[in-house]
Structure 1
Amino acid sequence: MRTYVAKPYIASSPQAELMGITGQALFKNLHAEDMIELKETYGFEEFIGDQWYSQQMALDFLKDLTIPDKFSTTQNLVALGMSAAALSSQLFSAALMNSIETFLEVLPSLYSLLQRNVPDEEGYWPKKISEGHWIVTNNTPYPGELVFGLHWAWMNSLRKPHDIFAVRPISPDEDGLYQLEIKWGDTPEAVR
């Protein structure tokens, strides 16, 4: 049983921080123009890659991005996740980025490269079900759509040229945490 369960859009403490390279996704994503007004409201001009920023400030921004009828929430959050994956991958060694399985095995430690002053249990927790089939549990305060975009982009960049892959949201775990099923292989049957 977990001792810490993340609450959506609420940092674990005021000291929780994220690395600036992930914040750069606000300026470098497929829907960045949709977020201009909100970025101005928050005073976001730029994020410096190796600097640290308030996780709660970023979460407040993401929560405001979910205002109904104002933003294309799902598209924007997925785009942010995809961009954050591409940007953060620059920090990971080539050895970690050589296969999906290797990457998933070390995924919990990678979260701590990008976030600090958070509980040890905060992060992405992968579990191998079988060859080419994993479940990743999101014990972070970040929204599921962003987490989906993040993992989809990572898997897309890690797959072998002939591989087919799927990243799907599945039922929450026993603590109500968002989960993703990740499958890959060289046939359509492998991802069903």
Structure 2
Amino acid sequence: MLGDEVMDSLRKHGVDQLKPDAWYPVDKFIEVFADWFKNPENTSSHLVSVGMAIIDNAVLPPEMESAPLVEKLTLLSKLHDINHRGTGDPGRYIVEQVGEKHLKYITNTPYPDDMIYGYIYGVAKRFLPRGTHFKVAYDPEVPRQHQGGTHTIFHLTWE
């Protein structure tokens, strides 16, 4: 999917001129993602990239800089909650610490799994110490939401 196609889809659904201080219906973005899936070529990698870019550009409270590492890595739940309001269920993130260097993210949101993968990858890239090797993986034992599951589970591990 090329930049022009992305912009055409955003324009088609009325979300091509976003204002940082405005609120937008989630449904509009779900319609945009549905358009993207009509042309599946590289859709997965584009959604991962979008998720990473959102985290790269997220403005965080100053106290996050001094927060413990695990608190930073579990930030998605807080970001999701503060960026959704109004009626409807925007879903949620549950983050569990499985081991010293292993977090499990359980998600049920309207957003594509690959975009959430990008969020988690972006959080790890932004907050783990430079040079840390990490891996984000889908849980192979649980069907993902886009495969008909009720939720998607991701694992973040690092060395």
What is the aligned partner in structure 1 of residue 63 from structure 2? 95
Aligned CA distance change for structure 1 residues 104 and 118 (closer, same or farther; 3 Å): farther
Gaps of 5+ in 1: 1-29, 186-192
Higher helix share: 2
- Identify the residue that residue 111 of structure 2 maps to in structure 1: 142
Q: Is the 8 A contact 2:7 2:16 kept in 1?
A: no
Residue 116 of structure 1 aligns with which residue?
85
Pairwise CA RMSD of aligned residues? Answer: 2.6
Unaligned segments of structure 2, at least 5 residues: none
Number of aligned residues: 153
The structural deviation recorded for 1:41 is 2.0
TM-score normalised by L of structure 2: 0.82
Q: For the residues of structure 1 that align with 2:103 and 2:79, how far apart are their CA atoms?
A: 17
| Per-residue deviation, 1:78 | 1.1
Q: Does 1:127 align with 2:96?
A: yes
2:63 maps to amino acid: A
What is the rounded CA distance, in whole Å, between the counterparts of 1:132 and 1:65 in structure 2? Answer: 34
Deviation of 1:121 after TM superposition, in Å, equals 8.2
CA distance in structure 1 between the partners assigned to 2:100 and 2:34 by the alignment: 36
Distance 1:138 1:31, change over 3 A: farther
Give the aligned residue type for 2:152. Answer: Y
Partner Cα distance (1:66, 1:116) in 2: 26
2:9 corresponds to 1:38: yes
| Superposed structure 1 runs of 4+ greater than 4 Å apart | 118-121
1-side partners of 2:72 and 2:133: how far apart?
Answer: 17
- The residue that corresponds to 1:51 in the other structure is 22
Give the whole-Å Cα distance in 1 for the aligned partners of 2:90 and 2:29. 20
Indicate yes or no: 2:152 matched with 1:184. Answer: no
